[in-house]
Amino acid sequence: MKPFTKLPRFVKNYYFLFGLFFVIWMSFVDTNDFLTQMRLTQKLNNLKNQKEYYKEKKVEVIKNREELTTNKELLEKFARENYLMKRPSEDLYVVVEK
């Protein structure tokens, strides 16, 4: 008894077998398989979101820099808050929150 006698004729066709092998190979084994493409698409979307975030931050930093170069009171406030600068006659206390 031959094992392949009950299979349909198109399944025994060389082109069908090669095409099936090719689809399986491209879907799961190749370097550009579906899983890799999904990961790369997800990474691309994350990078696009980060790009938008950094564009917004860039605009904000440019605006703050412009304000700091034109307003001396704001520059003093910024230096006191961020760099803990003080006048010679002042005492500085830093409160650290947990």
Model pTM?
0.53
What confidence tens digit (pLDDT) does each residue in 60-77 have?
A: 999 989 988 898 888 888
* Domain total of the chain: 1
Residue 95 lies inside a defined structural domain of this protein = no
Residue 6 lies in a domain: no
Amino acid at 91: D
Range of the domain at 64: 11-83
CB 51 within 8 A of CB 45: no
The two structure tokens encoding residue 54: 């950094």
Question: Is residue 88, in this structure, part of any structural domain at all?
Answer: no
Is residue 2 included in any domain, yes or no? no
Distance CA 14, CA 93 (A): 83
Instruction: Please report whether residue 55 resides in a domain.
Output: yes
Q: Is the pLDDT of residue 4 over 70?
A: no
Q: What is the pLDDT of residues 7-45, one digit of tens each?
A: 777 777 888 889 999 989 888 888 888 888 999 999 999
Residue 71 lies in a domain: yes
Q: Decide if 90 is inside a domain.
A: no
